[in-house]
Amino acid sequence: MDLKRRIPLLRWSVWRMAAGVRNITTTGQIGDGREAAAVDYVLAHARAGDIDDVLATIDKFAYEKSMLINVGDEKGLLLDAAVRRADPALALELGTYCGYGALRIARAAPNAKVFSVELAEANAANARRIWAHAGVADRVTCVVGTLGDGGRTLDALASEHGFASGALDFLFLDHDKDAYLNDLLSIMDRGWLHKGSIAVADNVRVPGAPKYREYMRQQQGKLWNTVEHKAHLEYQSMVSDLVLESDYLR
C-alpha cells in the first residue's frame, strides 16, 4: 500500500484538516473548500447513475486529493454488512457531510427510503448533488437540523417523513460524538425502533463516544446486544477506531 495512504501525517490535507477540525461542530466543514471540491470532482469523474463509481470516486478523492471525514471504504464495509442484515425499509443517518454514508446505505438497501439529518445547509446542498449524480435522489433525503434542537427536527421526521412507532429499521450515528447517546435516547423515546432494529455508531474510539459505549455495555442483553468492531479511522491504517453494531431487543 502506498505510504501516504497508510500514514496520514505524510499528507498536507491531513495537517490542514487538523487545523480546521474545530469548524466541524459549527460549520460542518473543514474550512478550505474541500467538500465542494469533492462534489465537483465526483460530477466530473464518476459515471452518472453508477453508485459504485460515485462511491469509488469519493474514496479516490479522499485518498489522492484531500482527506474527507466520510465513514470511508474500510468501515464502510461494516456499515454495508449491518444494513444488509437489517434489510431496512426506513433508514436514518445522523451526520450527512458529503452524502457518502447515506449513499452506501442506499446501495446496500436498494428498496429503502434513507433519511440523513445534517446541521449544515452547505453539506446538505453538496450531498444532494452527489445523490442526484448517483441516481438516488428520489429515495435519499437530507433534513437540515439536529435531533437536539428542541424537537423541531424530530417532529419534522414524524410529520413529514413517515417516522412512526416501530418504523425505523436502521440507524447510523456519525455526527457530533457527544450527542450520540442523547440522540439515540430521543429516538427510543419516540418509539420509532422495533425489535431487530440495528444501530451502527462510527468513531466510538476516535474522536470517541465514551458515554454511548458505556451505555451499550450497561444495556448488553437487556435493551441492546452490541458487537464492537475494530477498524481504522477513515482513509488510513495508522490510527485504530471502533464501530459499534447494536441490535435492539425490545
Ligand X SMILES: C[S@@+](CC[C@H](N)C(=O)[O-])C[C@H]1O[C@@H](n2cnc3c(N)ncnc32)[C@H](O)[C@@H]1O
- Among all residues, which ones are annotated catalytic? 174, 177, 202-203, 234
Q: Per CB under 6 A, does 215 bind ligand X?
A: no
User: What distances in angstroms separate CA 118 from CA 47, 125, 141, one per listed residue?
Assistant: 26, 10, 10
Q: Using CB atoms within 10 Å of the CB of residue 138, give its burial: 0 to 12 exposed, 13 to 18 middle, 19+ buried.
A: exposed
Kindly report the number of other CB atoms within 10 A of residue 227's CB atom.
12
Question: Is residue 146 within the footprint of ligand X (CB under 6 A)?
Answer: yes
CB 79 to ligand X: min, Å: 8
Residues 118-137 that bind ligand X (CB under 6 A): 118-120, 123
* Binding of ligand X by 59 (CB under 6 A): no
Q: Residue 126 is inside which H or E element, if any?
A: helix 121-134
**CA pair distance 122, 6, nearest whole angstrom:** 30
**Among 94, 167, 184, 199, which residue sits at the site for ligand X (rule: CB under 6 A)?**
94
Nearer to ligand X, 106 or 120 (CB): 120
DSSP state of 47: P
Least separation in angstroms between residue 195's CB and ligand X is: 26
Nearest distance in Å: CB 38, ligand X: 11
What are 155's three cell numbers?
417532529
Residues that bind ligand X (CB under 6 A): 24-25, 28, 69-71, 93-98, 100-101, 117-120, 123, 146, 148, 174-176, 179
